[in-house]
Amino acid sequence: MIIVTGGAGFIGSCVVRSLNDRGIDDIIIVDNIAETDKWRNMANKRYIKYYNRDEFLEHLPEYAGRVTNVFHLGACSATTERNFDYLYKNNLEYTKTLWKFCADNNASFVYASSAATYGDGSQGFDDKADIDNYLPLNGYGYSKQLFDIWVKKELAAGNKAPRQHAGLKFFNVYGPNEYFKGSMASVIMHGFNQIKERGYIGLFKSYKEGYEDGGQLRDFVYVKDVCNVMMFLMDNPDVSGLFNVGTGKARSFYDLAASVFAALGIDKDIRFIDMPETLRPKYQYFTEAKMDKLREAGYDKPFYSLEEGAKDYVQNYLDKDMRIW
């Protein structure tokens, strides 16, 4: 049996798709759907039971000895969340409980850390580096950092651990099933909607020397690659650690916007807009995942290029009434 938390969300529902495509449907989905439309991400999936996030932990002991893998992808991922008490409980304490369950039941535990733990990037984006000195820029990133540090201390103390434990620092993930993320959806999705609504894409102007307008750089990674990494981990239970999940190649927002127009087969119309003043002091101009560690662990699949990922996403999902994968 496999548990997928966040299984109705963006990455989690894509993981359920990947499991289903392998013929696996002995799956428990945990999420907090409430009045959202995230249920649509579950409607074409096979699973045995859904639990609301707030009710699940009281049922968790019922599955002792029956679970082989936990993919913990459920969290508050809003970088704008201001309620740190909520972040601490939901992103740290909840995750500790699942870790301990996996440790007690000899199960694999793969969880979402975040590239937000790297802070402003001044110390690089190297998953081989010491994590203790990173200073995240927001409460979300800090809550993820706290769990990574807690794991490090648990392992150093020789305490019982899951048979496999892998924390994944996702960079800028985009792709199908992100349709219900609102403002936190990818720039590809927002750009597609802008084109349909007004014919052009608006990108932030640059306020940093050395970067042209729209030239801010991110490591954009397609969700299908993210799922491939998690399937690799399931197939290789001897692989544990903290791993970046990006492409290893930073690309500009201008390139991203151009790839959306190219996927639609229309001439590009990219315009530059003022960045809100409140964003300017903390705005990141560069992220790029170091991918050596994952490669050295044996992951050898190529990643989608930005153009390849945008083409698949736009043509096969966004432009087909936001088809669910």
What CA–CA distance (Å, rounded) separates 67 from 69? 6
User: Is 73 annotated for ligand binding?
Assistant: yes
Report angle CA 294, 297, 299 to the nearest 5 degrees: 65
User: Is 297 annotated for ligand binding?
Assistant: no
Chain centroid to CA 62 = 29
Domain 182-217+250-287+313-318 sits in CATH at 3.90.25.10
User: Tens digit of pLDDT for each residue in 109-166?
Assistant: 999 999 989 988 888 999 999 999 898 888 888 899 999 999 999 999 999 999 999 9
User: Is 88 annotated for ligand binding?
Assistant: no
User: Is 14 annotated for ligand binding?
Assistant: no
User: Is 90 annotated for ligand binding?
Assistant: yes
What CA–CA distance (Å, rounded) separates 29 from 50? 5
Q: Which of 111, 118, 134, 140 is catalytic?
A: 140
Q: Which pLDDT does position 77 carry in this prediction? A: 65
CA distances (Å), origin 267, targets 198, 202, 203, 259: 14, 15, 16, 11
Catalytic residue check, 140:
yes
User: Is 133 annotated for ligand binding?
Assistant: no
User: Is 38 annotated for ligand binding?
Assistant: yes
Domain 2-174+220-248+288-303 sits in CATH at 3.40.50.720
Catalytic residue check, 174:
no
User: Tens digit of pLDDT for each residue in 181-224?
Assistant: 998 899 999 999 999 999 999 999 999 999 999 999 999 999 99
User: Is 317 annotated for ligand binding?
Assistant: no
Would you say residue 28 has pLDDT above 70? yes
Give domain limits for the chain.
2-174+220-248+288-303, 182-217+250-287+313-318
pLDDT, averaged across the chain: 95
User: Tens digit of pLDDT for each residue in 218-245?
Assistant: 999 999 999 999 999 999 999 999 999 9
Q: Which of 100, 152, 181, 293 is catalytic?
A: 181
Confidence of residue 7 (pLDDT cuts 50, 70, 90): very high
- 2-174+220-248+288-303 and 182-217+250-287+313-318 share one CATH topology? no
pTM, entire model: 0.96
Confidence of residue 300 (pLDDT cuts 50, 70, 90): very high
Reduced to 3 states (helix: H, G, I; strand: E, B; else coil), residue 29 is strand
Query: What number is the average pLDDT over the span 255-271?
Result: 98
